[in-house]
Amino acid sequence: MNIKSLLIGSAAALAAVSGAQAADAIVAAEPEPMEYVRVCDAFGTGFFYIPGTETCLKFDGYVRFQTDFGRDQSGTSDWDSFTRAQFNVDTRSDTELGALRGYFGFRGQADQDSSRAVVLDQAFIEISGLKVGFYYNWWDDGLSGEVDNLSSNQTRLNAIRYTYDAGSFYAGVAVEELEGVIAGNSISGTTIQRNNLGVNQLNWTTQNRQGDNNVGVSAIIGAKFGGVKANLLGGYDTDAENGAIRAIVTAEVGPGTFGLAGVWASGANAYYEESEWSVAAEYAVKATEKLTITPGVQYFRTLDIGTDGDFTGNRDAWRAGVAVGYKITSGLSTLVSVNYQSVDGNERVRSGIGSGAGDQWTGFVRLQRSF
């Protein structure tokens, strides 16, 4: 009886304690559900959704080290090195008006400790074919190699443009602010601002007492047919009252891509004024999965510009070279370019002024980490 009473009493005591603890129990709050970053594949690879929104975001860029070679690259030195960093932010979302895009990029470059800066590379808004902001215009595009020279002056401008894209066919028109862009190049004392060929051209804008905050209009049409792509581009400088027309065709031929381009200018203008006309060709050979070799050549006819803004004389020039690109590993590549240039006229000495750049070798060696 004693043992039985003891067991019953112990059970009753335990039940009382358990009841008391149950009355005082604290219930833990449910954890907040975690919101993981979601991949956004609607606009290509690399995009993800900004948490809590339907906006897709992408970061990309590169770090580049490059050494340039050529006459007077840095003072009287025939070589110069620099390091560049590029960082881009791309945002996109679907709206009732179509895809809405906001893009900006920063570029930092250091030539030496006292010569380094970070600048806005591009910034624009784009929706349903309309693009407004500060960005590279169509004239910045060219062939894939490093020989061709198919534009003049600055190609990054504040602009408004509209492009209709039907997939295999596209057409567009742009109105561009030509601020800081002048027709022709200037000579001031012994300081020469040469064009891309190294040729001194008369500064038509200054000669005619024109301002440099002007308006330009560009228009393009293009098409894609399988392995063939072609476009025709025109630009008109309303202040200089001159313009240029350029055509580029590329086609997949054999193990590579063949490119052909031609450009003509009516006179000094902001878009193209290296020569009155020029033709360029290249063949980009995909030698292996990692190695691409691109030889190219270009011919320029009638280099000089008169005080009336028209081309004059009969001087010509040509360039030929090759670019070799190699993908070392994922995200890391190198590019080596070597070009030879011949320009009619007196070969310039280091401290003097001549009528042309003469014959010279140019090129660069580049190592780039892209992400």
Write the pLDDT tens digit of every residue in 323-345: 999 999 999 999 999 999 999 87
pLDDT number for residue 133 = 98
Over the chain, what is the mean pLDDT? 86
**DSSP letters spanning 288-349:** SSSEEEEEEEEEEE--EE-TTS-EES--EEEEEEEEEEEEEETTEEEEEEEEEEEESSPBPP
* Alpha carbon 249 to chain centroid, angstroms: 20
pLDDT number for residue 66 = 98
Least confident of 35-44, 270-279, 300-309, 344-353: 344-353
Q: Average pLDDT for residues 56-69, to the nearest whole number?
A: 97
**CA 287 to CA 253: how far, in whole Å?**
13
Q: Which residues contact 298 (CB under 8 A, 6 or more apart)?
A: 147, 148, 149, 278, 279, 280, 281, 318, 319, 320
Beta strands in 28-185 (DSSP E): 48-49, 56-74, 77-95, 98-112, 115-127, 130-136, 156-165, 169-179
* Alpha carbon 17 to chain centroid, angstroms: 76
CB 295 within 8 A of CB 284: no
Higher pLDDT, 347 or 116: 116
- Local confidence band at 214 (pLDDT 50, 70, 90 cut-offs): confident
- Local confidence band at 319 (pLDDT 50, 70, 90 cut-offs): very high
pLDDT number for residue 26 = 59
**CA 249 to CA 224: how far, in whole Å?**
10
Kindly report, residue by residue over 236-257, the tens digit of the pLDDT.
Answer: 999 889 999 999 999 999 999 9
Torsion of the alpha carbons at 71, 75, 76 and 82, rounded to the nearest 10 = -60
Model confidence at 263: pLDDT above 50: yes
pLDDT number for residue 352 = 39
Phi-psi region of 17 (alpha: psi -120 to 50; beta: other; left: phi over 0): alpha
Higher pLDDT, 102 or 348: 102
Model confidence at 7: pLDDT above 50: no
- Local confidence band at 76 (pLDDT 50, 70, 90 cut-offs): confident
pLDDT number for residue 6 = 44
CB 249 within 8 A of CB 225: no
Put simply, whether the predicted model's pTM sits higher than 0.85 gets the answer no
Provide the 3-class DSSP secondary structure of residue 139: helix
Provide the 3-class DSSP secondary structure of residue 96: coil
Model confidence at 298: pLDDT above 80: yes
Model confidence at 366: pLDDT above 70: yes
pLDDT number for residue 347 = 53
Give the tokens for residue 33. 């559900």
- Local confidence band at 36 (pLDDT 50, 70, 90 cut-offs): confident
Within 10 angstroms of residue 237's Cβ, the number of other Cβ atoms is 30
**CA 69 to CA 80: how far, in whole Å?**
7
CB 156 within 8 A of CB 137: yes
Q: Average pLDDT for residues 199-203, to the nearest whole number?
A: 68
Greatest mean pLDDT range, 19-23, 111-115, 199-203, 243-247: 243-247
Give the tokens for residue 273. 């004024």
Q: Could you tell me what percentage of the chain is helix, strand and coil, using 3-state DSSP and rounding each to the nearest 5?
A: 10, 55, 35
Question: Looking at the DSSP assignment, which residues form a beta bridge with residue 157?
Answer: 135
- Local confidence band at 46 (pLDDT 50, 70, 90 cut-offs): very high
Model confidence at 18: pLDDT above 60: no
Q: What percentage of the chain reaches a pLDDT higher than 90?
A: 69
